[in-house]
Structure 1
Amino acid sequence: MPYVTMGGMARKTTKSGAGGAGGVPAARRAEVRLPPLSPYGGGLDPDGDYDGLEFKDLDLSGQEGPGSRFIDCALRDCGLDETALGRARFIDSVLSGVRGVGTDLAGASLRDVEVVDARLGGTQLHGAVLERVLIRGGKIDYLNFRKARLKDVVFEGVVLSEPDFGGAELVRVEFRDCVLRRADLSGARMKDVDLRTVAELDIARGLDRLAGAVISSAQLLHLAPAFAAQIGVRVED
C-alpha cells in the first residue's frame, strides 16, 4: 500500500531485512519467556520485590505498591482499580486480562513486557518509560502517556479511546490494526512511528506533531481536511 512519511523522506528497506514493511524501521518486539512461576496469594507492599511469581485472579484494587519491582512475573485476570504502582518496575513480565479504573503507574518502567487483553480506564502512565513492550488486544480508555518515553513499543489490535500522548517521545512505535480514537498528540515527538494499519485514526489535538510518523495514502485523504484547517486553508466546492 502506498504510504506517506511525515517530516522526512521514505527510506528503502535494507537487504538485511532490518527495516520494517515499506522501509519503516521495525520495533524490536518484546519476547517474554517466563520460567516456572510460584503462585502468589498475598497483597502488594510499597517497594515490594516480586520475582518469579504468578498473581492470578487477585483483587488488588486500592492496594499500595509504589516503587515495587516485578521480575519474571505474570499478573493474570487481576483487578487493579485505583491500585498505586507509581515508579514500579516491570521486567520480563506479562499482564494478561488485567482490568481496572484509575490504576496509577506514573513514572513506572516497563521493559520486555507483554500486556494482553487489558480492560483499563484512566490509567496513569505519565512520565513512564516503556521499552520493548507489546500491548495486544483489549480496550484502554483515557490512557495518560503525557511526557512518557516509548521505544520499540507495539500496539496491536487494541482500542485506544482518547489516549493522551502530550509531550511524549515515541521512537519505533507501531500501531497495528488498532483503533486510535480522539488522540491528543500535543507536543509529542515522533521518530519512525508506523500508523499505516490503524483501522480508525482520529487525532483530536496535535495534528502537526505527526512529523516523524508514517501514514497510508488513504489515511492522508481522511486527514486532509484537518491538515488544511491546520494551515488555514479553506476548502470549498
Structure 2
Amino acid sequence: MPFVLEPESYVDDVALDGDDLTGQDGTDARIDTCTWRAVRLDEVVLRRARLSDTTLDTVSATTLDVTSGDWLDVVVRDSRLGGVQAYDADWRRVRITGGKVDYLNLRDARLADVVLDGVTVGELDLTGARTKGLVLRDVAVRELVLDRATLAGADLTGLATGALRVLRGVAGLRGARVTGPQALDLLPALADHVGLAIED
C-alpha cells in the first residue's frame, strides 16, 4: 500500500525509496527518524510540521511548503528543489549538502547550527532571519537578501562571492566572517551602502 502523508499524522521510522508524494498535505505532521530517498515532493505541504532525525536524500520538488516548520537534526542531501517556502521556520542542526535550490525562503526564520555545504542556490532570502552558528561552505548563491537579518558570528568564508550577482541588505552582514578576497568582491556593495565613491 503506498505511503500517504496526512495532516497531523505521526510518521515514525518510515523509509521511502522512489515514492511519489506529489500534492500531498502533511500540515502539522510529526516526522521522526525517517529516510526518504529519491522521493518526489512536488507541491507537498508540510506547514508547521516537525521533522527530527530525518534524512531527505536525492529528493526533488518543484515547490515545497515547509513554512513555520520545526526541524531538528535533519539532513537534505544531493536534492533538486525549486521554490522552498521555509519562512518563520525553526531549524536546529540542519544540514543541506550538495544539490541545487532555486529559491530558499528563510524569512524570519530562526537558524541554529545550520550548514549549507556544496549547494547551489539561485536566491537565498534571509530577510529578518536570526542565526547562530550558520555556516556556508562551498556555496554558490546568485542572489542574497539580508534585510533585517542577524548573522552575528556566521561563517561565510565558504560563500562563492564571485558567483553573487545581487546582494541586498548589506547591513545584515554585520558580525559575519568573510575572507580578504571575499571582502574585495563585496566592496562595491559595501561602498554603495555607506555612500563611498570608488574611483580607479
Q: Same fold (TM over 0.5)?
A: yes
Match of 1:220 in 2: 183
Match of 2:107 in 1: 146
Check conservation: 1:196, 1:216, Cα contact below 8 A. yes
Report whether the alignment pairs 1:41 with 2:2: yes
Query: C-alpha separation between the residues in 2 aligned to 1:175 and 1:77?
Result: 25
Check conservation: 1:110, 1:133, Cα contact below 8 A. yes
Query: C-alpha separation between the residues in 1 aligned to 2:105 and 2:176?
Result: 20
RMSD of aligned C-alpha atoms? 1.2
Corresponding residue to 2:172 among 206, 209, 219: 209
TM-score, structure 2 normalization: 0.95
- Which one has more relative contact order, counting CA pairs under 8 Å at least 6 apart? 1
**2:26 is paired with a residue of what secondary structure?**
coil
Q: What is the number of equivalent residue pairs in this alignment?
A: 198
Query: C-alpha separation between the residues in 1 aligned to 2:155 and 2:27?
Result: 33
Once the two structures are superposed, residues 182-227 of structure 1 have per-residue CA deviations (whole angstroms, 9 ceiling, x without a partner) of 1111110112100112223625201111012100000011111111
Query: C-alpha separation between the residues in 2 aligned to 1:67 and 1:161?
Result: 28
Report whether the alignment pairs 1:51 with 2:12: yes
Check conservation: 1:132, 1:151, Cα contact below 8 A. yes
For 1:1-20, list aligned pairs within 5 A.
Answer: none
Q: Give % identity.
A: 39
TM-score, structure 1 normalization: 0.81
Match of 2:81 in 1: 120
Q: Which has the larger radius of gyration?
A: 1
Report the residue type matching 1:233 in the other structure: L
Check conservation: 2:161, 2:186, Cα contact below 8 A. no
**1:189 is paired with a residue of what secondary structure?**
coil
Query: C-alpha separation between the residues in 2 aligned to 1:45 and 1:140?
Result: 25
Alignment gaps of 5+ in structure 2: none
Match of 2:60 in 1: 99
Report the residue type matching 1:41 in the other structure: P
Check conservation: 1:77, 1:96, Cα contact below 8 A. yes
Alignment gaps of 5+ in structure 1: 1-39
Corresponding residue to 2:147 among 182, 186, 197: 186
**1:120 is paired with a residue of what secondary structure?**
strand
Query: C-alpha separation between the residues in 1 aligned to 2:161 and 2:197?
Result: 25
Report the residue type matching 2:97 in the other structure: R
